[in-house]
Structure 1
Amino acid sequence: MKYQQIPSSLFIKNRKKFMAEMKPKSVAVFNSNDIYPVSADSTLPFAQHRDIFYLSGADQEETKLLLCPDAPYEHLREILFVRETNAHIAVWEGEKLTKERATEVSGIKNVMWLQDFEKTLFEVMTYCDTMYVNTNEHYRSSVETETREARFVKWWKEKYPAHQVAKSNPILQKLRSIKEPEEIELMQTACDITEKGFRRVLGFTKPGVWEYEIEAELLHEFIRNRSKGFAYTPIIAAGNNANVLHYIENNQQVKDGDLILFDVAAEYANYSSDLSRTIPANGKFTKRQREVYDAVLRVKNEATKMLIPGTLWKQYHVEVGKLMTSELLGLGLLGKADVQNDDPAWPAYKKYFMHGTSHHIGLDTHDYGLLHEPMQANMVFTVEPGIYIPQEGFGIRLEDDVVVQENGEPFNLMRNIPIEAEEIEELMSN
């Protein structure tokens, strides 16, 4: 890992919260992700399953976590299983978790080798009536690959058909959506690294550079600050490319007069940041570009103020839609007749702003959170309005990550990243 070690106290707290929600006489198991093959002997870089990381801090493949708070023996209540390491593995693959190191990272006293998992689970199951399985129920999930978790669930159901089944995911959806102070600090670090990357490209960008060259500048700055790299596939969209919401080719040359839409951010310690900015390639907005830019910024600023405890996500988007409608009328993109005759299922403003304004962010860029429940303090949301005008050859999106506060306005984790048009122009001119 590139990041500084996270105090094990965070994972101890997270496990206590999860186990407090478990039914009596129950057990829960969490699995690491697979290392996914490409072809031949090539594999994708390993990325840990966020749930086992949230509960243990173990950032290694072939790892299992077992939680059984009502086990009659203390050593069976929390167990981390890791792959047995040796000198040969250390030479060919590098350092792996020893039992002592796994305890240091996770705060779990009982660390066992993975080969002992099945017999240990058998003993624990004799004390339990219910098994928590960890299925993916995120509202955006669309998974075709059979994961390590999915294989385990199939195996367990065949092995223990008489036990009741419960789901870990609803518990995790609630717990992971509300961040501990240590998590917010890690997300702040990810945002600070993102700031460094953005300031770097403000000095680099000019007409004639290529989108992928800008991408390379960002990646350089992220990695040199202990990030693994991008929190998600980067979008660097010059000119009309910005009107493709998930443009990821990043293979076009930037032209004089273009606006460049960035949707790109760093991860840190598996925690995401999520930034959008839009800058003029030549360092100066045209009058029309500035009008639209300021409209998007006004919507973002007003939408941010709505992220307070008790706000309902669905109603929040209705209110943001009203703000955007007003701005589009002012820009001449919508007329009064468009608004009066619009379809409530697809309001008129959606012609120019067709995506949502906010989503949970944390260990995942689109993080866990139950959208039908009111917002709570220490939830972290993006705020990302945009206006996309293909007929004028540009699109603008602005996005920050903000923490819902118990009292007062949301706290902007990206408060130091330039966003005012004048500051961007000044920095680019220097």
Structure 2
Amino acid sequence: MNKEFYAGNRKSLYQKLEAGSLVVVFSGHAPIKTNDENYPFFTNRNFLYLTGIEQENIVLMAYVGEGTIEETLYILPPDAFAERWTGRRIKEEEAEELSGITNYKYVAAFRNDFSRQLFSGNVKKVYLDFDKVYENTPAVEAYRLGKYLKEHAPFVGLGNLHPIMKQLRLIKKPCEIEAMKKAETITKAGIEAMMKTSKPGMYEYQYKAEFDYALAQRGVLSPGFPSIISSGKNNFKIHYYDYRGQAQDGDMILNDVGAVWDYEINDVSRAFPCNGRFNDRQKLLYECIYNTSEYMFSTLKPGVPLLDVDKIIRKYTFEQLKEAGVCKNFEDIGTYMWHGGAHHVGFDVHDVVEGSGLAVPGVVFCVDIGVYHEEWGIGFRLEDNCLITEDGCENLSRAIPRQIDEIEAFMGRR
């Protein structure tokens, strides 16, 4: 991504706001892990989408007037002692090259500037990013500032930036799609590394080490989200992060993983027998979800209601399982399908987008089909990334081995 991308994102945002709006977006900060140790910092994704800058405790403020935009980025001041411990702080010229923002102040000036704007008489509404998914999530800067405004400036309206950002992030720009395609090639290398080295007796952490090494060799120091890599009975824990299980001969290896490139994340699931050969029951279930996946990629196109994708996946998979003699009634499908079949990807692995409308070109989401047969001890999923095009769709992760013959041949068992 370049500064034109981020400047364009901000312009799109400002165009959706009425004159007299004041926008404030915080980069966030790393929460305390224990004692004097913090978790690694992870930039607020809406802030990143608007600026391209990864640095904690900085602020973007923009006033939208009648035909004018005044935007300022409040950065941390140089501090040789602090930087010795916590790393180099971004300089104005570097921030401008990344974001295209031209006006900078140190973050200590933010409160005074905010108050001056607030009481100038020009501000009708302040927009903050209220992004809580769960009610019990600890309050961050936007919520604390919102509380202050309700108590001390009730004459100013309070707007939520989050629904607007969900609209903006839905359709991916060409540079985003290119970054996703690059991430797919790296994810492919990681999954293939696990397939190549797989054998009975391997521990899940060894599979993870193969994946992480392949990513690091290609410039990705951390995956786009915590990798889910499991074997055997651990496949029945949907979000599994323990990695201490040992693959036994005949176990399926489930991996739900994804690299990130230029902040764009992909999310891919592949399953393969640790010994490289599918047994009859594994083949039966795998063919069911593979057929569903192929059906979805043959039918998804502009105009399909996004909220119907999961319903279609469940219905078509049921028909496959019924034909295979696994499931008799649609009411029983929940016994074998435990999670949704689609979610958007982008700057977040479960991307923050407005996904209740119709599919349009540039939308990217996962086609995620999972089947879990506890009685047989077989559980896995097949997940690919779907780009809606002008007249259909494209499977961005198709090159990663996904057919039974293809997987067995790649693992050297054919």
TM-score range, shorter chain: over 0.9
Deviation at 1:190, TM superposition (A): 2.0
In the other structure, the counterpart of 2:19 is 24
In the other structure, the counterpart of 2:401 is 418
| Distance in 1 between residues matched to 2:66 and 2:22, nearest whole Å | 9
* Superposition map of 1:301-380 within 5 A: 301-335=294-328, 338-339=329-330, 347-380=331-364
- Choose 370-379 or 95-104, whichever is displaced more: 370-379
Distance 1:193-1:328 versus aligned 2 partners, 3 A rule: same
- Identical amino acids, percent of aligned pairs: 29
Deviation at 1:321, TM superposition (A): 2.2
| Distance in 2 between residues matched to 1:224 and 1:84, nearest whole Å | 34
| Distance in 1 between residues matched to 2:144 and 2:6, nearest whole Å | 25
In the other structure, the counterpart of 1:94 is 87
Of the three residues 238, 248, 256, the one matched with 1:255 is: 248
Of the three residues 46, 63, 66, the one matched with 1:68 is: 63
Matching of residue 171 in structure 1 with residue 188 in structure 2: no
Q: Secondary structure of 1:51's match?
A: helix
| Distance in 2 between residues matched to 1:20 and 1:143, nearest whole Å | 33
Q: Secondary structure of 1:384's match?
A: strand
Q: Secondary structure of 1:84's match?
A: coil
In the other structure, the counterpart of 1:390 is 374
Deviation at 1:142, TM superposition (A): 5.6
* Superposition map of 1:47-66 within 5 A: 47-66=42-61
Kindly indicate whether the alpha-carbon contact (under 8 Å) linking 1:25 and 1:130 is maintained by their aligned counterparts in 2. yes
Matching of residue 234 in structure 1 with residue 218 in structure 2: no
In the other structure, the counterpart of 2:279 is 286
Distance 1:269-1:231 versus aligned 2 partners, 3 A rule: same
Distance 1:189-1:156 versus aligned 2 partners, 3 A rule: farther
- Counterpart amino acid of 1:394? I
Kindly indicate whether the alpha-carbon contact (under 8 Å) linking 2:75 and 2:106 is maintained by their aligned counterparts in 1. yes
What CA deviation, in whole Å up to 9, does each residue of 1:172-200 have, x standing for no partner?
11111111111122222222211111111
Matching of residue 381 in structure 1 with residue 368 in structure 2: no
Deviation at 1:329, TM superposition (A): 0.8
Q: Secondary structure of 2:344's match?
A: coil
| Distance in 2 between residues matched to 1:417 and 1:107, nearest whole Å | 37
- Counterpart amino acid of 1:357? G
Of the three residues 130, 133, 156, the one matched with 1:135 is: 130
- Choose 118-127 or 22-31, whichever is displaced more: 118-127
Kindly indicate whether the alpha-carbon contact (under 8 Å) linking 1:228 and 1:268 is maintained by their aligned counterparts in 2. no
Q: Secondary structure of 1:77's match?
A: strand
Deviation at 1:42, TM superposition (A): 0.8
* Superposition map of 1:398-413 within 5 A: 398-407=382-391, 409-413=392-396
| Distance in 1 between residues matched to 2:86 and 2:233, nearest whole Å | 45
In the other structure, the counterpart of 1:118 is 111
What CA deviation, in whole Å up to 9, does each residue of 1:117-160 have, x standing for no partner?
1222233332211111210165xx56522223222322343342
- Counterpart amino acid of 2:403? E
| Distance in 2 between residues matched to 1:158 and 1:328, nearest whole Å | 58
Q: Secondary structure of 1:395's match?
A: strand
Distance 1:420-1:251 versus aligned 2 partners, 3 A rule: same
Q: What's the TM-score, normalizing by structure 1?
A: 0.91
| Distance in 1 between residues matched to 2:235 and 2:176, nearest whole Å | 32
Of the three residues 3, 6, 27, the one matched with 1:8 is: 3
| Distance in 2 between residues matched to 1:108 and 1:56, nearest whole Å | 8
| Distance in 2 between residues matched to 1:111 and 1:224, nearest whole Å | 36
- Counterpart amino acid of 1:247? Y
Kindly indicate whether the alpha-carbon contact (under 8 Å) linking 1:296 and 1:396 is maintained by their aligned counterparts in 2. no
- Counterpart amino acid of 2:358? P
Kindly indicate whether the alpha-carbon contact (under 8 Å) linking 2:297 and 2:394 is maintained by their aligned counterparts in 1. no
User: Can you give the 5+ residue segments of structure 2 that lack an aligned partner in the other structure?
Assistant: none
Kindly indicate whether the alpha-carbon contact (under 8 Å) linking 2:235 and 2:379 is maintained by their aligned counterparts in 1. yes
Distance 1:159-1:97 versus aligned 2 partners, 3 A rule: farther
- Counterpart amino acid of 2:254? L
Q: Secondary structure of 1:109's match?
A: coil
> How many residues are matched?
411
Kindly indicate whether the alpha-carbon contact (under 8 Å) linking 1:71 and 1:124 is maintained by their aligned counterparts in 2. no
| Distance in 2 between residues matched to 1:69 and 1:406, nearest whole Å | 34
| Distance in 2 between residues matched to 1:120 and 1:387, nearest whole Å | 55
**Could you say what the CA RMSD is over the residues aligned between the two structures, in angstroms?**
1.8
| Distance in 2 between residues matched to 1:192 and 1:155, nearest whole Å | 47
Of the three residues 139, 148, 151, the one matched with 1:146 is: 139
- Counterpart amino acid of 1:350? G
Deviation at 1:307, TM superposition (A): 3.0
Deviation at 1:415, TM superposition (A): 2.3
Q: What's the TM-score, normalizing by structure 2?
A: 0.94
| Distance in 2 between residues matched to 1:22 and 1:427, nearest whole Å | 53
| Distance in 2 between residues matched to 1:357 and 1:396, nearest whole Å | 13
| Distance in 2 between residues matched to 1:46 and 1:27, nearest whole Å | 27
| Distance in 2 between residues matched to 1:90 and 1:316, nearest whole Å | 48
- Counterpart amino acid of 1:42? E
Q: Secondary structure of 1:100's match?
A: helix
In the other structure, the counterpart of 1:77 is 70
Moved over 4 A (4+): none
| Distance in 1 between residues matched to 2:383 and 2:13, nearest whole Å | 32
What CA deviation, in whole Å up to 9, does each residue of 1:369-413 have, x standing for no partner?
223221221111001111111111111210111111122x31222
Kindly indicate whether the alpha-carbon contact (under 8 Å) linking 2:71 and 2:103 is maintained by their aligned counterparts in 1. yes
Kindly indicate whether the alpha-carbon contact (under 8 Å) linking 2:18 and 2:64 is maintained by their aligned counterparts in 1. no
- Counterpart amino acid of 2:81? H
Matching of residue 269 in structure 1 with residue 262 in structure 2: yes
